[in-house]
Protein backbone atom coordinates (compact mmCIF):
# COMPACT_ATOMS: atom_id res chain seq x y z
CA UNK A 1 0.00 0.00 0.00
CA UNK A 2 1.52 3.28 -1.06
CA UNK A 3 1.98 6.11 1.35
CA UNK A 4 0.27 8.42 -1.11
CA UNK A 5 -2.70 6.13 -1.19
CA UNK A 6 -2.97 6.20 2.55
CA UNK A 7 -2.64 9.96 2.68
CA UNK A 8 -5.71 10.14 0.54
CA UNK A 9 -8.16 10.63 3.32
CA UNK A 10 -11.11 12.85 3.96
CA UNK A 11 -11.12 15.22 6.83
CA UNK A 12 -14.38 15.49 8.60
CA UNK A 13 -15.42 18.16 11.05
CA UNK A 14 -16.10 17.24 14.68
CA UNK A 15 -19.59 15.85 14.32
CA UNK A 16 -20.95 17.15 17.62
CA UNK A 17 -19.38 20.58 17.18
CA UNK A 18 -22.40 22.86 16.96
CA UNK A 19 -23.28 25.47 19.58
CA UNK A 20 -26.77 26.06 20.79
CA UNK A 21 -28.12 29.57 20.83
CA UNK A 22 -29.85 29.69 24.15
CA UNK A 23 -29.81 32.67 26.43
CA UNK A 24 -27.94 31.59 29.47
CA UNK A 25 -27.20 32.89 32.86
CA UNK A 26 -23.45 32.77 33.30
CA UNK A 27 -21.31 33.87 36.20
CA UNK A 28 -18.46 36.17 35.14
CA UNK A 29 -15.06 34.47 35.12
CA UNK A 30 -13.12 34.28 38.34
CA UNK A 31 -12.81 32.18 41.45
CA UNK A 32 -12.92 33.25 45.07
CA UNK A 33 -15.02 32.46 48.12
CA UNK A 34 -17.81 34.70 46.78
CA UNK A 35 -18.04 32.61 43.65
CA UNK A 36 -18.60 29.59 45.81
CA UNK A 37 -21.13 31.38 47.97
CA UNK A 38 -22.95 32.41 44.81
CA UNK A 39 -23.09 28.88 43.44
CA UNK A 40 -24.21 27.47 46.77
CA UNK A 41 -26.73 30.25 47.20
CA UNK A 42 -28.22 29.78 43.77
CA UNK A 43 -28.81 26.19 44.66
CA UNK A 44 -30.27 26.98 48.04
CA UNK A 45 -27.78 24.67 49.63
CA UNK A 46 -27.70 23.94 53.32
CA UNK A 47 -25.01 25.58 55.39
CA UNK A 48 -22.97 22.37 55.85
CA UNK A 49 -22.51 22.00 52.14
CA UNK A 50 -21.36 25.59 51.71
CA UNK A 51 -18.84 25.02 54.48
CA UNK A 52 -17.73 21.81 52.80
CA UNK A 53 -17.17 23.67 49.54
CA UNK A 54 -15.31 26.51 51.19
CA UNK A 55 -13.05 24.08 53.00
CA UNK A 56 -12.33 22.35 49.70
CA UNK A 57 -11.53 25.71 48.15
CA UNK A 58 -9.12 26.59 50.93
CA UNK A 59 -7.43 23.22 50.57
CA UNK A 60 -7.24 23.69 46.84
CA UNK A 61 -5.45 27.01 47.26
CA UNK A 62 -2.69 25.15 49.09
CA UNK A 63 -2.33 22.48 46.44
CA UNK A 64 -0.17 22.40 43.32
CA UNK A 65 -1.36 21.37 39.90
CA UNK A 66 -0.04 17.86 39.29
CA UNK A 67 2.81 17.67 36.78
CA UNK A 68 3.56 13.95 36.67
CA UNK A 69 1.28 12.97 33.83
CA UNK A 70 2.79 12.57 30.39
CA UNK A 71 0.98 15.60 28.98
CA UNK A 72 1.99 19.12 28.03
CA UNK A 73 -0.12 22.23 28.13
CA UNK A 74 0.16 25.87 29.12
CA UNK A 75 -0.93 26.53 32.70
CA UNK A 76 -4.68 26.75 33.15
CA UNK A 77 -5.77 30.25 34.16
CA UNK A 78 -8.30 29.35 36.78
CA UNK A 79 -9.40 32.93 37.13
CA UNK A 80 -10.47 33.24 33.54
CA UNK A 81 -12.98 30.46 33.77
CA UNK A 82 -16.61 30.95 34.57
CA UNK A 83 -17.68 28.57 37.28
CA UNK A 84 -21.40 28.66 36.73
CA UNK A 85 -23.58 28.73 33.67
CA UNK A 86 -27.20 27.75 33.55
CA UNK A 87 -29.47 27.98 30.53
CA UNK A 88 -31.64 31.01 31.39
CA UNK A 89 -34.96 29.56 30.49
CA UNK A 90 -34.24 26.96 33.14
CA UNK A 91 -34.40 29.30 36.11
CA UNK A 92 -37.67 27.75 37.02
CA UNK A 93 -37.20 24.12 36.32
CA UNK A 94 -39.51 22.60 33.76
CA UNK A 95 -41.98 20.20 35.23
CA UNK A 96 -42.19 18.00 32.19
CA UNK A 97 -40.50 17.45 28.87
CA UNK A 98 -43.02 19.74 27.16
CA UNK A 99 -41.70 22.64 29.16
CA UNK A 100 -38.14 22.10 28.06
CA UNK A 101 -36.85 24.72 25.66
CA UNK A 102 -37.45 23.22 22.23
CA UNK A 103 -34.04 24.35 21.08
CA UNK A 104 -32.51 22.33 23.84
CA UNK A 105 -34.49 19.30 22.80
CA UNK A 106 -33.19 19.97 19.31
CA UNK A 107 -29.66 19.94 20.68
CA UNK A 108 -30.18 16.59 22.30
CA UNK A 109 -31.67 15.26 19.12
CA UNK A 110 -28.59 16.34 17.21
CA UNK A 111 -26.54 14.53 19.77
CA UNK A 112 -28.70 11.50 19.27
CA UNK A 113 -29.78 11.39 22.88
CA UNK A 114 -32.80 9.18 23.18
CA UNK A 115 -34.64 11.69 25.39
CA UNK A 116 -38.21 11.42 24.13
CA UNK A 117 -40.07 8.42 22.85
CA UNK A 118 -36.84 6.96 21.58
CA UNK A 119 -35.73 6.83 25.14
CA UNK A 120 -38.65 4.70 26.13
CA UNK A 121 -37.91 2.34 23.27
CA UNK A 122 -34.28 2.15 24.17
CA UNK A 123 -35.21 1.71 27.79
CA UNK A 124 -32.82 4.45 28.80
CA UNK A 125 -33.44 6.93 31.57
CA UNK A 126 -31.52 10.09 30.85
CA UNK A 127 -30.31 12.79 33.14
CA UNK A 128 -29.00 15.46 30.80
CA UNK A 129 -26.52 17.94 32.17
CA UNK A 130 -26.27 20.98 29.97
CA UNK A 131 -23.29 23.07 30.96
CA UNK A 132 -23.67 22.81 34.67
CA UNK A 133 -27.34 22.35 35.39
CA UNK A 134 -29.30 19.18 35.20
CA UNK A 135 -32.06 19.85 32.73
CA UNK A 136 -34.48 17.06 33.15
CA UNK A 137 -34.67 13.54 34.18
CA UNK A 138 -36.84 11.14 32.35
CA UNK A 139 -38.43 8.02 33.58
CA UNK A 140 -38.35 9.08 37.13
CA UNK A 141 -41.67 7.49 37.78
CA UNK A 142 -40.76 4.09 36.52
CA UNK A 143 -37.59 4.13 38.56
CA UNK A 144 -39.48 5.43 41.55
CA UNK A 145 -41.65 2.34 41.49
CA UNK A 146 -38.55 0.18 41.75
CA UNK A 147 -37.36 2.37 44.60
CA UNK A 148 -34.44 3.67 42.54
CA UNK A 149 -33.47 7.28 43.07
CA UNK A 150 -32.09 8.96 39.97
CA UNK A 151 -31.97 12.73 40.10
CA UNK A 152 -29.63 15.66 39.87
CA UNK A 153 -27.25 16.02 42.74
CA UNK A 154 -28.68 19.45 43.62
CA UNK A 155 -32.08 17.91 44.09
CA UNK A 156 -30.63 15.09 46.07
CA UNK A 157 -29.02 17.58 48.44
CA UNK A 158 -32.53 18.76 49.30
CA UNK A 159 -34.45 15.53 49.02
CA UNK A 160 -31.99 12.98 50.42
CA UNK A 161 -29.69 14.98 52.68
CA UNK A 162 -28.72 11.98 54.84
CA UNK A 163 -27.52 9.96 51.86
CA UNK A 164 -25.57 12.90 50.44
CA UNK A 165 -24.05 13.75 53.79
CA UNK A 166 -23.04 10.15 54.30
CA UNK A 167 -21.55 9.43 50.90
CA UNK A 168 -20.47 12.70 49.27
CA UNK A 169 -16.67 12.76 49.45
CA UNK A 170 -16.58 9.32 51.05
CA UNK A 171 -14.80 7.76 48.08
CA UNK A 172 -12.96 10.76 46.66
CA UNK A 173 -12.14 12.90 49.68
CA UNK A 174 -12.48 16.64 49.31
CA UNK A 175 -8.78 17.20 48.93
CA UNK A 176 -7.90 13.95 47.20
CA UNK A 177 -6.11 15.79 44.43
CA UNK A 178 -5.92 19.22 42.87
CA UNK A 179 -8.83 18.82 40.47
CA UNK A 180 -10.99 16.90 42.91
CA UNK A 181 -10.55 19.73 45.42
CA UNK A 182 -11.49 22.27 42.75
CA UNK A 183 -14.53 20.23 41.86
CA UNK A 184 -15.54 19.90 45.49
CA UNK A 185 -15.41 23.68 45.80
CA UNK A 186 -17.34 24.62 42.69
CA UNK A 187 -19.31 21.60 41.45
CA UNK A 188 -22.50 22.83 39.95
CA UNK A 189 -24.49 19.74 39.29
CA UNK A 190 -24.39 16.12 38.35
CA UNK A 191 -26.30 12.94 38.95
CA UNK A 192 -27.20 11.02 42.02
CA UNK A 193 -28.25 7.40 41.97
CA UNK A 194 -29.34 5.21 44.81
CA UNK A 195 -30.35 1.60 44.31
CA UNK A 196 -32.01 0.08 47.35
CA UNK A 197 -31.12 -3.30 48.83
CA UNK A 198 -31.62 -6.23 46.53
CA UNK A 199 -33.00 -4.16 43.65
CA UNK A 200 -31.96 -4.72 40.08
CA UNK A 201 -32.33 -1.35 38.40
CA UNK A 202 -35.00 -1.97 35.74
CA UNK A 203 -33.21 0.01 33.02
CA UNK A 204 -29.89 1.41 31.97
CA UNK A 205 -29.33 4.80 33.54
CA UNK A 206 -27.69 7.40 31.41
CA UNK A 207 -26.38 10.94 31.64
CA UNK A 208 -25.28 13.17 28.85
CA UNK A 209 -22.95 16.06 29.54
CA UNK A 210 -22.47 18.95 27.25
CA UNK A 211 -20.44 22.15 27.63
CA UNK A 212 -22.11 24.85 25.59
CA UNK A 213 -21.04 28.26 26.84
CA UNK A 214 -17.69 29.77 25.94
CA UNK A 215 -15.17 30.18 28.77
CA UNK A 216 -17.06 27.96 31.11
CA UNK A 217 -15.72 25.08 33.01
CA UNK A 218 -17.81 22.07 33.80
CA UNK A 219 -17.53 20.57 37.23
CA UNK A 220 -20.14 17.93 37.60
CA UNK A 221 -20.25 15.42 40.33
CA UNK A 222 -21.74 11.99 40.17
CA UNK A 223 -22.52 9.82 43.13
CA UNK A 224 -23.85 6.30 42.79
CA UNK A 225 -24.69 4.23 45.81
CA UNK A 226 -25.68 0.61 45.22
CA UNK A 227 -27.04 -0.83 48.41
CA UNK A 228 -26.53 -4.46 49.40
CA UNK A 229 -27.21 -6.98 46.67
CA UNK A 230 -28.37 -4.37 44.16
CA UNK A 231 -27.37 -3.97 40.55
CA UNK A 232 -27.10 -0.98 38.25
CA UNK A 233 -25.66 -0.16 34.86
CA UNK A 234 -24.92 3.48 34.20
CA UNK A 235 -23.74 5.22 31.08
CA UNK A 236 -22.40 8.70 30.58
CA UNK A 237 -21.78 10.44 27.30
CA UNK A 238 -20.09 13.76 26.73
CA UNK A 239 -19.83 16.30 23.95
CA UNK A 240 -18.89 19.95 23.63
CA UNK A 241 -19.04 22.54 20.84
CA UNK A 242 -15.99 23.54 18.83
CA UNK A 243 -14.30 26.53 20.33
CA UNK A 244 -10.86 27.98 19.87
CA UNK A 245 -10.12 28.32 23.56
CA UNK A 246 -9.50 25.39 25.82
CA UNK A 247 -12.24 24.55 28.23
CA UNK A 248 -11.83 22.80 31.52
CA UNK A 249 -13.82 19.80 32.62
CA UNK A 250 -13.00 18.60 36.11
CA UNK A 251 -15.55 16.06 37.21
CA UNK A 252 -15.67 13.74 40.16
CA UNK A 253 -17.45 10.40 40.10
CA UNK A 254 -17.89 8.37 43.25
CA UNK A 255 -19.24 4.84 43.31
CA UNK A 256 -20.17 2.90 46.39
CA UNK A 257 -20.96 -0.78 45.95
CA UNK A 258 -22.13 -2.17 49.26
CA UNK A 259 -22.01 -5.89 50.06
CA UNK A 260 -22.95 -8.02 47.08
CA UNK A 261 -23.83 -5.05 44.86
CA UNK A 262 -22.76 -4.56 41.28
CA UNK A 263 -22.13 -1.30 39.47
CA UNK A 264 -21.28 -1.13 35.82
CA UNK A 265 -20.20 2.32 34.76
CA UNK A 266 -19.67 3.02 31.08
CA UNK A 267 -18.37 6.20 29.51
CA UNK A 268 -18.36 7.31 25.93
CA UNK A 269 -16.30 10.48 26.03
CA UNK A 270 -16.36 12.64 22.95
CA UNK A 271 -15.53 16.11 24.23
CA UNK A 272 -14.24 18.44 21.54
CA UNK A 273 -10.60 17.42 20.93
CA UNK A 274 -9.40 20.68 19.39
CA UNK A 275 -8.58 21.14 15.75
CA UNK A 276 -5.92 19.34 13.75
CA UNK A 277 -3.30 21.86 14.90
CA UNK A 278 -4.21 21.41 18.54
CA UNK A 279 -6.09 24.67 18.92
CA UNK A 280 -8.96 24.54 21.37
CA UNK A 281 -10.51 21.47 22.90
CA UNK A 282 -11.46 20.29 26.35
CA UNK A 283 -9.06 19.61 29.20
CA UNK A 284 -10.63 16.57 30.72
CA UNK A 285 -9.20 16.23 34.25
CA UNK A 286 -11.43 13.77 35.97
CA UNK A 287 -11.34 11.77 39.19
CA UNK A 288 -13.37 8.59 39.17
CA UNK A 289 -13.24 6.04 41.91
CA UNK A 290 -15.33 3.31 43.43
CA UNK A 291 -15.27 1.46 46.70
CA UNK A 292 -16.25 -2.17 46.52
CA UNK A 293 -17.43 -3.85 49.67
CA UNK A 294 -17.74 -7.58 50.35
CA UNK A 295 -18.68 -9.73 47.34
CA UNK A 296 -19.41 -6.67 45.25
CA UNK A 297 -18.26 -5.73 41.80
CA UNK A 298 -17.37 -2.48 40.11
CA UNK A 299 -16.77 -2.43 36.41
CA UNK A 300 -15.51 0.60 34.50
CA UNK A 301 -15.75 0.65 30.74
CA UNK A 302 -14.60 3.69 28.87
CA UNK A 303 -14.29 4.72 25.27
CA UNK A 304 -12.30 7.92 25.17
CA UNK A 305 -12.00 9.60 21.81
CA UNK A 306 -12.42 13.26 22.65
CA UNK A 307 -10.73 16.02 24.65
CA UNK A 308 -7.51 17.86 23.92
CA UNK A 309 -6.08 16.40 27.09
CA UNK A 310 -7.40 13.50 29.09
CA UNK A 311 -6.21 12.86 32.62
CA UNK A 312 -8.29 10.21 34.30
CA UNK A 313 -7.84 6.97 36.17
CA UNK A 314 -11.15 5.31 37.04
CA UNK A 315 -10.18 3.22 40.02
CA UNK A 316 -11.43 0.55 42.35
CA UNK A 317 -10.73 0.21 46.01
CA UNK A 318 -11.42 -3.46 46.60
CA UNK A 319 -12.09 -3.16 50.29
CA UNK A 320 -14.35 -6.11 50.92
CA UNK A 321 -13.34 -9.75 50.68
CA UNK A 322 -14.11 -11.36 47.31
CA UNK A 323 -14.84 -8.04 45.65
CA UNK A 324 -14.12 -7.61 41.96
CA UNK A 325 -12.84 -4.64 39.99
CA UNK A 326 -12.71 -4.34 36.23
CA UNK A 327 -11.39 -1.72 33.87
CA UNK A 328 -11.97 -1.94 30.16
CA UNK A 329 -10.69 0.99 28.18
CA UNK A 330 -10.28 2.19 24.65
CA UNK A 331 -8.46 5.50 24.41
CA UNK A 332 -7.97 6.92 20.98
CA UNK A 333 -5.92 10.03 20.31
CA UNK A 334 -5.52 11.72 16.96
CA UNK A 335 -3.99 14.97 15.71
CA UNK A 336 -2.56 16.84 18.70
CA UNK A 337 -4.56 15.10 21.41
CA UNK A 338 -2.88 13.89 24.57
CA UNK A 339 -4.15 11.27 26.92
CA UNK A 340 -2.73 9.96 30.16
CA UNK A 341 -5.26 7.47 31.39
CA UNK A 342 -5.53 4.14 33.13
CA UNK A 343 -6.71 2.77 36.41
CA UNK A 344 -5.80 1.90 39.94
CA UNK A 345 -6.76 -1.38 41.51
CA UNK A 346 -6.18 -1.28 45.23
CA UNK A 347 -6.61 -4.75 46.67
CA UNK A 348 -7.36 -4.60 50.37
CA UNK A 349 -9.69 -7.54 50.92
CA UNK A 350 -9.04 -11.25 50.68
CA UNK A 351 -9.62 -13.05 47.39
CA UNK A 352 -10.22 -9.80 45.57
CA UNK A 353 -9.95 -9.97 41.81
CA UNK A 354 -9.21 -7.37 39.19
CA UNK A 355 -8.95 -7.32 35.44
CA UNK A 356 -7.52 -4.50 33.38
CA UNK A 357 -7.83 -4.46 29.61
CA UNK A 358 -6.52 -1.27 28.07
CA UNK A 359 -6.35 -0.52 24.36
CA UNK A 360 -4.57 2.67 23.36
CA UNK A 361 -4.64 3.89 19.79
CA UNK A 362 -2.45 6.81 18.77
CA UNK A 363 -2.65 8.53 15.42
CA UNK A 364 -1.52 11.84 13.97
CA UNK A 365 0.98 13.50 16.27
CA UNK A 366 -0.90 12.59 19.39
CA UNK A 367 0.38 11.08 22.58
CA UNK A 368 -1.37 8.28 24.43
CA UNK A 369 -0.20 6.93 27.77
CA UNK A 370 -1.54 4.12 29.91
CA UNK A 371 -0.78 4.68 33.56
CA UNK A 372 -1.96 2.08 36.01
CA UNK A 373 -1.44 0.93 39.54
CA UNK A 374 -2.05 -2.52 40.91
CA UNK A 375 -1.47 -2.73 44.62
CA UNK A 376 -1.75 -5.84 46.78
CA UNK A 377 -1.90 -4.90 50.41
CA UNK A 378 -0.58 -7.25 53.10
CA UNK A 379 -4.17 -8.32 53.85
CA UNK A 380 -5.04 -9.22 50.26
CA UNK A 381 -4.70 -12.95 50.77
CA UNK A 382 -5.35 -14.90 47.56
CA UNK A 383 -5.95 -11.78 45.48
CA UNK A 384 -5.42 -11.79 41.74
CA UNK A 385 -4.86 -9.29 38.99
CA UNK A 386 -4.59 -9.70 35.29
CA UNK A 387 -3.59 -6.76 33.15
CA UNK A 388 -3.28 -6.50 29.44
CA UNK A 389 -2.28 -3.23 27.85
CA UNK A 390 -1.98 -2.96 24.12
CA UNK A 391 -1.00 0.01 22.03
CA UNK A 392 -1.59 0.51 18.37
CA UNK A 393 0.30 3.19 16.51
CA UNK A 394 -0.97 4.71 13.29
CA UNK A 395 1.61 6.88 11.57
CA UNK A 396 5.17 7.68 12.60
CA UNK A 397 4.63 10.93 14.45
CA UNK A 398 2.51 9.66 17.31
CA UNK A 399 3.59 8.30 20.68
CA UNK A 400 2.38 5.48 22.89
CA UNK A 401 3.47 4.88 26.45
CA UNK A 402 2.85 2.36 29.18
CA UNK A 403 3.54 3.10 32.84
CA UNK A 404 2.24 0.27 35.00
CA UNK A 405 3.01 0.45 38.71
CA UNK A 406 2.85 -2.95 40.36
CA UNK A 407 3.18 -3.21 44.12
CA UNK A 408 2.74 -6.39 46.09
CA UNK A 409 3.05 -7.05 49.77
CA UNK A 410 1.27 -10.35 49.90
CA UNK A 411 2.94 -13.54 48.68
CA UNK A 412 -0.32 -15.33 47.97
CA UNK A 413 -1.47 -12.60 45.62
CA UNK A 414 -0.90 -13.30 41.96
CA UNK A 415 -0.26 -10.50 39.48
CA UNK A 416 0.17 -10.88 35.76
CA UNK A 417 0.86 -7.94 33.55
CA UNK A 418 1.43 -7.92 29.80
CA UNK A 419 1.84 -5.13 27.33
CA UNK A 420 2.45 -5.03 23.62
CA UNK A 421 2.86 -2.40 20.97
CA UNK A 422 2.19 -2.77 17.32
CA UNK A 423 1.25 -0.79 14.31
CA UNK A 424 -1.32 -1.21 11.62
CA UNK A 425 0.93 -3.06 9.27
CA UNK A 426 1.20 -2.54 5.56
CA UNK A 427 0.45 -6.23 5.17
CA UNK A 428 -2.84 -5.92 7.00
CA UNK A 429 -3.79 -2.89 4.91
CA UNK A 430 -2.77 -4.64 1.74
CA UNK A 431 -4.84 -7.67 2.59
CA UNK A 432 -7.90 -5.54 3.31
CA UNK A 433 -7.40 -3.60 0.14
CA UNK A 434 -7.24 -6.81 -1.83
CA UNK A 435 -10.60 -7.64 -0.38
CA UNK A 436 -11.88 -4.39 -1.86
CA UNK A 437 -11.74 -2.10 1.18
CA UNK A 438 -10.27 1.39 0.97
CA UNK A 439 -7.52 2.37 3.38
CA UNK A 440 -9.82 4.26 5.73
CA UNK A 441 -12.25 1.40 6.03
CA UNK A 442 -9.44 -1.07 6.45
CA UNK A 443 -7.88 0.89 9.30
CA UNK A 444 -11.22 1.31 10.96
CA UNK A 445 -11.82 -2.41 10.71
CA UNK A 446 -8.44 -3.26 12.16
CA UNK A 447 -8.93 -0.77 14.97
CA UNK A 448 -12.35 -2.16 15.75
CA UNK A 449 -10.91 -5.64 15.91
CA UNK A 450 -8.16 -4.37 18.21
CA UNK A 451 -10.82 -2.98 20.57
CA UNK A 452 -13.33 -5.78 20.52
CA UNK A 453 -12.61 -7.08 24.01
CA UNK A 454 -13.59 -3.69 25.35
CA UNK A 455 -16.59 -3.05 23.11
CA UNK A 456 -17.98 -6.37 24.24
CA UNK A 457 -18.32 -4.86 27.71
CA UNK A 458 -20.40 -1.89 26.60
CA UNK A 459 -24.18 -1.97 26.81
CA UNK A 460 -25.41 -3.16 23.43
CA UNK A 461 -26.81 0.03 21.99
CA UNK A 462 -23.61 1.91 22.78
CA UNK A 463 -21.20 -0.64 21.39
CA UNK A 464 -22.37 0.35 17.91
CA UNK A 465 -22.04 4.01 18.74
CA UNK A 466 -18.52 3.48 20.05
CA UNK A 467 -17.44 1.76 16.87
CA UNK A 468 -18.76 4.64 14.78
CA UNK A 469 -17.12 7.14 17.07
CA UNK A 470 -13.72 5.54 16.52
CA UNK A 471 -14.26 5.64 12.80
CA UNK A 472 -15.11 9.35 12.86
CA UNK A 473 -12.24 10.16 15.21
CA UNK A 474 -9.77 8.35 13.02
CA UNK A 475 -10.72 10.15 9.86
CA UNK A 476 -7.74 11.81 8.29
CA UNK A 477 -5.32 9.77 10.35
CA UNK A 478 -4.27 7.25 7.77
CA UNK A 479 -0.90 8.22 6.38
Partner 1 sequence: MNDFMQQALAAASRSAPPWLEPLQARGREAWSNTSMPTRKTEAWKYTSLQALQKTFSAAPTQAAGSPLGDVPLPKLSGPTLVFTDGHYRADLSTTELPAGLRLVRFADATRDQAERIAAALGSAILPGRHVFAPLNDATLTDGVFMDVAANTRIETPVHIAWLTTGQNESISVTQRLLVSLGENSGATLVESFANTATGGTAFTNGLTELLIGRGAQLNHYRLHLEQGDVVHIGGVHARQEADSTLNGFHLALGSALKRIDLVVNHQGAGAHCSLDGLYLPRGTETVDYHTCIEHAVPHCTSRERFRGIIADEASAVFNGRIHIHPQAQKTRAELSNKNLLTSNKAEINTKPELEIYADDVQCAHGATVAQLDPLTLHYLRTRGVPRDEAEVMLSYGFINELVEAVEQAELQAFLKPLLARRFARDSRLTRHIL
Residues in contact with partner 1 by the rule CB under 8 A? 68, 376, 378, 391, 393-423
From the DSSP assignment, how many helices (H) and strands (E) are in the chain? 13, 24
Distances (CA, A) of 130 to 218, 308, 324: 9, 20, 33
Please identify, using beta-carbon distances, which residue of 212 and 444 lies nearer to partner 1: 444
Please identify, using beta-carbon distances, which residue of 2 and 96 lies nearer to partner 1: 2
Please identify, using beta-carbon distances, which residue of 67 and 121 lies nearer to partner 1: 67
- Coil, helix or strand at residue 343: coil
Distances (CA, A) of 158 to 45, 153, 452: 8, 9, 42
Smallest separation (angstroms) from partner 1 to the CB of 470:
18
Smallest separation (angstroms) from partner 1 to the CB of 215:
34
Whole-number Å distance between alpha carbons of 33 and 162: 26
Smallest separation (angstroms) from partner 1 to the CB of 391:
7
Please identify, using beta-carbon distances, which residue of 89 and 406 lies nearer to partner 1: 406
Smallest separation (angstroms) from partner 1 to the CB of 383:
11
Smallest separation (angstroms) from partner 1 to the CB of 387:
9
Sign of CA dihedral 276, 444, 249, 211: positive
Helix ranges (DSSP H) in 312-459: 426-434, 439-450, 452-455
Please identify, using beta-carbon distances, which residue of 35 and 377 lies nearer to partner 1: 377
The bridge status of strand 133-137 relative to strand 124-130 is antiparallel
Whole-number Å distance between alpha carbons of 283 and 80: 14
CB 397 within 8 A of CB 367: no
Please identify, using beta-carbon distances, which residue of 390 and 475 lies nearer to partner 1: 390
Please identify, using beta-carbon distances, which residue of 21 and 396 lies nearer to partner 1: 396
| Angle at alpha carbon of residue 283, lines to 103 and 459, rounded to 5° | 65
Smallest separation (angstroms) from partner 1 to the CB of 339:
14
Distances (CA, A) of 456 to 328, 385, 451: 10, 20, 9
Smallest separation (angstroms) from partner 1 to the CB of 379:
10
Contacts of 305 (CB under 8 A, 6+ apart): 269, 270, 273, 331, 332, 469, 470, 472, 473
Amino acid sequence: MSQEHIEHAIRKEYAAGFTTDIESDTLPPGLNEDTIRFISGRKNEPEWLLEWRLQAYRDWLQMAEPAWAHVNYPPVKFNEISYFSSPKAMKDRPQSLDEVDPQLIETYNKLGIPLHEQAALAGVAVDAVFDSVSVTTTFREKLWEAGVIFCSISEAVHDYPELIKKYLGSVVPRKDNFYAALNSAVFSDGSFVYIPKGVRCPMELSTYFRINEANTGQFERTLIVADEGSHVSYLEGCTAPMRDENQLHAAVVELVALDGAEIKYSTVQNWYPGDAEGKGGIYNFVTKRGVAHRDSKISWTQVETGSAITWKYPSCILRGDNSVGEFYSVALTNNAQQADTGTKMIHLGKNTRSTIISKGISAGKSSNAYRGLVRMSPRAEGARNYTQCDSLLIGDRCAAHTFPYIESRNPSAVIEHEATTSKVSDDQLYLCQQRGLDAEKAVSMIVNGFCKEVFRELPMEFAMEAGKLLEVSLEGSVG
